[in-house]
Chain A
Amino acid sequence: MIRCEEIGWEIEGKTVLDNISIEVAPGEVFGLIGPSGSGKSSLIRIMDLLVAPTSGRLWIDSTEVSAGSTDLVALRRRMGMVFQRPAVFSGDVYRNVSIGLGLRGERPHSARQLVEDALEMVGLTGFGPRRASTLSGGELQRVAIARALVTRPTVLFLDEPTANLDPLSTQVIEDVVRRAQTDLGTTIVMATHNLDQGQRLCDRLAVMATGRLMQTGTPLEVFYRPRTRQVARFVGAENLVDGTVERQDRGVAFVRTTGNVLAVAVHEPVFGTVTVAIRPEEIVLSHDDSCRTDSPNHLHGRVTAVESDGPLVRVSLDCGFPLVALVRRLTYLSLSLEPGLQVCAVFDPNGAHLIART
């Protein structure tokens, strides 16, 4: 559907995108995740043909776009784009949604029906006559999605579509994205820094940082098998413990770290120095006396900090190396967790992942 091959983009001597190669399959939801400034929006703008890359090649279906003779307008008319901050045209919602149809010479009668269908899809039935400038941020973003979907694009690009929106509006927009994929068969490419959203909506993810592609894979691969420390840190595997593989036995590698040996499930042989990546939610805390020192991954630790993290509690530990655990509030209360308390931290070998260090 879309193929980027070694795409690069420079502005005023600054490299914004460096050698990006990805392929988006028809009908999939492909997510670009990464911190602010990682190049997600720039890449999405290149794929939507809003800007031309300074190097590399781009294909939309079988058409190579980089070639100067390509009819960009015809290609753009097969795509739709929703920006982080939706642009509002003067006039009512109907005009805002129907603009793309007008550009294609759609007759007013059929356009009206299409607009009404699009407004219904985004949950704004009856909003047509309302002045667009009076809508809330969430409603405006839904109008922008209706504006993009009303032309029935084969590819829909979403650039941080729910940034700065309340949870309810976010949920509505995520539902629309799912329906666009399942009901209309639209291929969707979305940039987001919301990891949960990327995990919820996307079939595959590409992790970007400082203009480079760090890893591509399914949400499971990216979140639970990050290839680099940078990706691991970004996807929330914030416990990164360096060590050396001592031995491997039946799919488990034993890694010597400062004062401990950690057991980590591996799918292929790993040697030498590694980083053990453990997601905080994979760590279970219990009373210190429940620690069995003869068992792997039973770590004595001293609580150094406790703070709320939404419905969970984030507990920082000193186990000879820093470790962070996310525990339920009930656990926090039953263990009376507070700084200075000795606890036992346990994780399953399958809940950790090894990153080879070069």
Chain B
Amino acid sequence: MVNEIVQGFIQAVDLIVSLDPEVIEITIRTLVISLSSTLLGTAIAIPVGGIISLNEFRGKRALMYLVQTLYSVPTVIIGLLLFLLISSSGPFGSLKLLFTSTGMVIGQTMLILPILIGLTIAALEGLDRGLRDTLVSLGATWSQQLIALLREARFALLAAVAVGFGRAISEVGVAIMIGGNIRGFTRVLTTAISLETSMGNISLSLALGIILLVLALVVNFGVNLLQGGGRR
């Protein structure tokens, strides 16, 4: 086993250094799909989280519990739900999203939305209550309050985006069920790892896994850089 890990590491370095066209293509597709779903999810989650956090309404607490529960929804459940919606007999079948990268982006967005919404709420609720009172007393409109508070919570929000990206890039259920792991079209690192492992190419799987980890590491490093730079 140790030998296979070492071999996998050597193969990963080899695949990266030799710029293996298929690995490069899979890696780029993985990044594009995961970053797209993270951006889309963030664009939806921040205003939704803001609306939930800044308003008092009946059932708010229950809604927050529901959002938190959905953090851990299995990826295959999301995959199955979306499959039923976009398969040719589903209500959105005519959009022909099944086995497409767009379908995978939608699936991953659905997967990470609860995390992004929940962490946005947590980031805003964690701020000093006096900040909002001060903004209101200064005559801020609702949207001005939200923008100012999001700015104050930006580091926590960046961390939330990093968590969302991590969940998106590492999931396999939606990628398999919605993408179908079609070579040259919807294959991403996680589905490729799954396939190679089932075919007994353990070293290649490990190599792809290491590339996946390096990608996650690079993105998190970037987020940390942004956070550090902003705090200075």
Q: Interface residues, chain A, CB within 8 Å of chain B?
A: 48, 50, 73-74, 76-77, 79-81, 83, 85-90, 99-100, 103-104, 144, 147-148, 151, 157
Q: How many A-B residue pairs have CB under 8 A?
A: 59
Given contacts A83-B130, A103-B144, contact A50 B136 (CB under 8 A): yes
Least Cβ–Cβ distance between B183 and chain A, in angstroms:
48
Q: Is there contact, CB below 8 Å, between A90 and B137?
A: no
Interfacial chain B residues near A90, Cβ < 8 Å? 151-152
CB atoms of A80 and B140 under 8 A apart: no
**Contact among B131, B133, B137, B144 with A89 in the assembled complex (CB-CB below 8 Å):** B131
Contact B130 A100 (CB under 8 A): no
**Contacts of B137-153 to chain A: CB distance below 8 A:** 137-141, 144, 148, 151-152
In the bound complex, do residue B134 and residue A104 qualify as a contact, i.e. CB atoms below 8 Å apart? no
Q: State whether A73 touches B131 (Cβ < 8 A).
A: no
B20 at the interface (CB under 8 A from A): no
Query: Shortest distance in angstroms between A280's beta carbon and chain B's nearest beta carbon?
Result: 38
| Closest CB in chain B relative to A252 CB, distance in Å | 51
The reply to whether B136 and A87 form a contact with Cβ atoms under 8 Å apart is no
Query: CB distance A76 to B136 under 8 Å?
Result: yes
Q: Distance (Å) between the CB of A60 and the closest chain B CB?
A: 13
> Which listed residue (B136, B137, B141, B148) contacts A80, Cβ 8 A?
B137
Q: Is the CB of A87 within 8 A of B128?
A: yes
Contact present for B139 and A104 (CB under 8 Å): yes
Whether A103 touches B152, Cβ cut-off 8 Å, given contacts A50-B133, A86-B130, A87-B133, is no
Q: How far is the CA of A85 from the CA of B133 in the complex (A)?
A: 11
Q: How far is the CB of B150 from chain A (nearest CB, A)?
A: 12
Known A90-B151, A99-B148: A83·B140 in contact at CB below 8 Å: no
Can you add 17 more A-B contacts, CB < 8 Å, to A90-B152, A147-B138? A50-B137, A73-B139, A74-B139, A76-B137, A76-B138, A80-B137, A81-B137, A83-B133, A85-B130, A86-B130, A99-B135, A99-B148, A103-B140, A103-B141, A144-B134, A148-B137, A148-B138
Q: Please, which residues of chain B bring their CB within 8 A of the CB of A76?
A: 136-139
Q: Which one of A90, A148, A157 has the greatest number of beta carbons of chain B within 10 Å?
A: A90
Nearest A-chain residue to B155, judged by Cβ: A90
Q: Give the 10 A-B residue pairs with the shortest CB-CB distance, closest first.
A: A77-B139, A87-B130, A81-B137, A100-B138, A76-B139, A87-B134, A87-B131, A103-B140, A103-B144, A73-B139
Interface pair A83/B138, CB less than 8 Å apart: no
Q: Kindly list chain B residues whose C-beta atoms are within 8 Å of the C-beta of A103.
A: 135, 138-141, 144
Shortest beta-carbon distance, A77 to chain B, in Å? 3
Q: List residues of chain A with CB within 8 A of the CB of B151.
A: 90
- Shortest CB-to-CB span from A189 to chain B, Å, is 13
B140 CB, nearest partner CB in chain A, Å: 5
* A87 CA / B148 CA spacing, docked (Å): 13
**Contact residues in A for B137 (Cβ distance below 8 Å):** 48, 50, 76, 79-81, 148, 157
Report the bound CA distance from A157 to B138 in whole Å. 12
- In the complex formed, the residue of B with least CB distance to A77 is B139
User: Could you list 10 examples of A-B contacts with CB < 8 Å?
Assistant: A50-B133, A73-B141, A76-B139, A77-B138, A79-B137, A81-B134, A86-B130, A87-B134, A99-B138, A148-B138
Give Cα distance in the complex from A104 to B139, angstroms: 8
A151 to B130, CA, bound (A): 19
Q: Which residues of A contact B138 (CB under 8 A)?
A: 76-77, 80, 99-100, 103, 147-148, 151
Determine which residue in B131, B136, B152 has the highest number of CB atoms from chain A within 10 A of its CB, and name it.
Answer: B136
Question: For the complex, what is the distance from the CA of A87 to the CA of B141, rounded to whole Å?
Answer: 18
What are the residues of chain B within 8 A of A83 when measuring CB–CB? 130, 133-134
- Assembled-state Cα–Cα distance A100/B135 (Å): 8
Query: Once the chains are docked, how many angstroms separate the CA of A346 from the CA of B140?
Result: 59
Task: Give Cα A79–Cα B137 distance, bound, in whole angstroms.
Answer: 7
Measured CA separation A151–B135 after assembly (Å)? 13
Query: In this complex, what residue of A is CB-closest to B149?
Result: A89
Minimum CB distance partner of B138 in chain A:
A100
Q: Closest approach, in angstroms, between the C-beta of B127 and any C-beta of chain A?
A: 9
Nearest CB of chain B from residue A215's CB, rounded to whole Å: 28
Across the two chains, which residue of chain A brings its CB closest to B134?
Answer: A87
- Please give the distance in Å from A223's CB to the nearest CB on chain B: 31
Q: CA–CA, A74 to B140, complex, Å?
A: 9
From A87, A103, A151, name the one whose CB has the most chain B CB atoms within 10 angstroms.
A87
Q: Which residues of A contact B134 (CB under 8 A)?
A: 81, 83, 86-87, 89, 99, 144, 147
Nearest B residue (CB) for A104: B139
